[in-house]
Structure 1
Amino acid sequence: MAQDGRCLPPSRQEKLVSSTVAAPHTASTGAVAAQARDLTKVYGEGETRVVALDHVSVDFRQAEFTAIMGPSGSGKSTLMHCMAGLDSISAGSARIGDTELAGLKDKKLTQLRRDRIGFIFQAFNLLPTLSALENITLPMSIAGRKPDKPWLDRVVSTVGLADRLRHRPGQLSGGQQQRVAVARALAARPEIIFGDEPTGNLDSRAGAEILGFLRNSVRELGQTVVMVTHDPVAAAYADRVIFLADGRIVDDMPEPTAERVLEHMKRFDAKGRTS
């Protein structure tokens, strides 16, 4: 991360985590991991009515890293929460694979989130009494499933935790705790991982490492990752950036660079879009 608080760009990050430098990028298959069609989310009624998402349509393709950006109040976190089944939708469609989220009963929705979706948030959400390994495998333990040992070993190697598995969260740095959270999201081999500002609570080096691990999980493991971020440098780790403003998608940038993303964000400020 630069002195202004942003994460280090990929070229700098690769020097920090040379042991996990990715193989050439595994191109997206073109298949859709998650999809929204005319997705609308409204909060409140009457004078308090707020349209957080206004007929949003977007595909999140398999084996692709997508960043979602926009001004405060643009709907970026709401989009992620609706797509991840963490918030209900008001109208339209939200799908994970072929499964429509709207209308799913609580039990089915819980199973879908547990078995098919991975989550990474600013707060690490680790249980302090469990070891790193126990935290990583906890969702599978709750589901009554045994981890796939070769896959788990590969995930642990990818995030560089092999020598920390017996440590409890209190014995780990913030960056190491977030690595545990990343490994937990990957360990069940979900169809898609959603991250809400996953480096927001980390220092520069740790933030760069986590972004590198997420990028490598796409390139080396074929994972699908969707990340909400406010940082142009963090967004540059992604394969594409979707920009939201006033609850609508206003641009879709492939192969982003920090400079191009920052320029887009400046345009939002110039137009006076605020929360």
Structure 2
Amino acid sequence: MTTTFTGAPAAATAHTGVAAARATDLSKVYGQGETKVVALDSVSVEFRQAQFTAIMGPSGSGKSTLMHCMAGLDSVTSGSARIGDTELTTLKDKKLTRLRRDRVGFIFQAFNLLPTLNAMENITLPMDIAGTRPDRQWLDRVVDTVGLADRLKHRPNQLSGGQQQRVAVARALASKPEIIFGDEPTGNLDSRSGAEVLGFLRNSVRELGRTVVMVTHDPVAAAYADRVVFLADGRIVDDITGPTADSVLDRMKSLDPRA
């Protein structure tokens, strides 16, 4: 079932034109012989700095696989995946882990908060594990942007679903990552909470200069982005800027009659 969100779609955001991440002839193949599945088929795309990009496509189109490969969460079969100027496909496990920790933020459909920690402790947990100190001024700005200043001492079970996902958004932003990847980040939220989280992601781009790439199935969620990339059968088939819910829905219907 598709969840719809209220709220005005995003206007185009000014950006630098510099790629925060780039795929070149990227392919991902699972299995071989009769069980071979080509999840990504020579995909080339870039995600520009200080821009909010949504990735959409029918089920099985490769959208989550693309995000996982670009984020260093999954290996690639061939081609290139870069974060900034760093080629991910040549990194050893330890350096890849360090890159994901220091340069990439993640927001998932499941909030992935530790129930024994309060909101602030969950936000700073990745930095605590890494042994790094947060930039207090930046952290305060992030907390203010996501509207959590009065909930920082609350544990997850004392927060609504929308508030828990805002904690996850703040956690992804707290270490000043070069790029933030979201995999259906509003999938477990009601309409109102989903709209709040999407607004915070949009504000993180506009007000904090972050780069956000989000996989979503929902045309209204995609309309919060500056740009939508469409996949079908492991290939990019369209790319639109200044999306509206209607324009995204029309394009999705052309890709998948069941949409």
Q: TM-score, normalised by structure 2?
A: 0.97
Tell me the alpha carbon deviations over residues 208-266 of structure 1, each in whole angstroms, 9 at most, x when there is no partner.
Answer: 00000000000000000000000000000000000000000000001000000000011
**Aligned equivalent of 1:5:** 3
Letter in 2 for 1:54: D
Q: Distance in 1 between matches of 2:92 and 2:148?
A: 37
Give 3-state SS (helix, strand or coil) of 1:95's partner. Answer: strand
Q: Which residue matches 2:234?
A: 247
Please say if residues 12 and 226 of structure 2, whose CA atoms lie closer than 8 Å, have aligned partners that are also in contact: no
Give the C-alpha shift of residue 25 in structure 1: 6.7
The 1-side partners of 2:74 and 2:7 are apart by 32
> Which residue of 82, 85, 88 corresponds with 1:98?
85
Structure 1 counterpart SS, 2:180: strand
2:206 to 205, 208, 219: 219
**Preserved contact between residue 102 and residue 177 of structure 2 (Cα < 8 Å):** yes
Question: Partners in 2 of 1:148 and 1:85 — Cα distance?
Answer: 25
Partners of 2:251 and 2:6 lie apart in 1 by: 19
Tell me the secondary structure at the aligned position of residue 10 of structure 1: coil
The match for 1:60 is 47
Q: Secondary structure at the match of 1:102?
A: helix
Q: CA RMSD in A?
A: 1.6
Find the residue that maps to 1:82 and give its secondary structure: helix
CA distance in 1, matches of 2:3, 2:101: 33
Equivalent position amino acid for 2:124 in 1: T
> Do residues 88 (structure 1) and 78 (structure 2) align?
no
Aligned counterparts of 2:3 and 2:106: Cα–Cα separation in 1: 24
What letter matches 2:232 in structure 1?
A: A
Q: Which residue of 1 aligns with 2:29?
A: 42
Tell whether the 8 Å contact from 2:13 to 2:226 is kept in structure 1 after alignment.
Answer: no
SS of the residue aligned with 1:221?
Answer: coil
Aligned counterparts of 2:161 and 2:220: Cα–Cα separation in 1: 20
Contact 2:21–2:47 (Cα < 8 Å) also in 1: yes
Opposite residue 214 of structure 1, the aligned amino acid is L
Which string of whole-angstrom CA distances, capped at 9 and with x for unpartnered residues, describes residues 141-179 of structure 1? 111111100000000000000000011111111110000
Change (3 A) 1:57 1:4: closer
Among 102, 108, 125, the residue aligned to 2:95: 108
Equivalent residues, number: 259
How many angstroms apart in 1 are the aligned matches of 2:181 and 2:23? 15
Which residue is 1:136 aligned to? 123
Q: How does 1:196-275 map to 2 (within 5 A)?
A: 196-270=183-257
Percent sequence identity over matched residues? 78
Q: Residues of 2 paired with 1:36 and 1:5: CA distance?
A: 30
Q: Distance in 2 between matches of 1:5 and 1:215?
A: 18
Assess if the C-alpha contact under 8 Å between 2:219 and 2:248 holds in 1.
yes
Counterparts of residues 63-78 of structure 1 (less than 5 Å): 63-78=50-65
Describe the SS at the equivalent of 2:29: strand
Return structure 1 stretches of 4+ with deviation > 2 angstroms: none
Q: Which stretch shows the higher mean deviation, 24-33 or 97-106?
A: 24-33
Per-residue deviation, 1:269: 2.2
TM-score normalized by the length of structure 1? 0.91
- C-alpha displacement of 1:201: 0.2
Q: 1:151 aligns with which of 107, 127, 138?
A: 138
**Residues in 1 aligned to 2:16 and 2:183: alpha-carbon distance in whole angstroms:** 24
Q: Quote the residue 2:168 is aligned against.
A: 181
Q: Is the 8 A contact 1:67 1:240 kept in 2?
A: yes
Gaps of 5+ in 1: 12-21
Q: How big is the shift at 1:26?
A: 5.2
Distance in 2, Cα, partners of 1:4 & 1:128: 29
Partner letter of residue 227 of structure 2?
R
1:14 corresponding residue in structure 2: none
For the residue of structure 2 that corresponds to 1:6, the secondary structure is coil
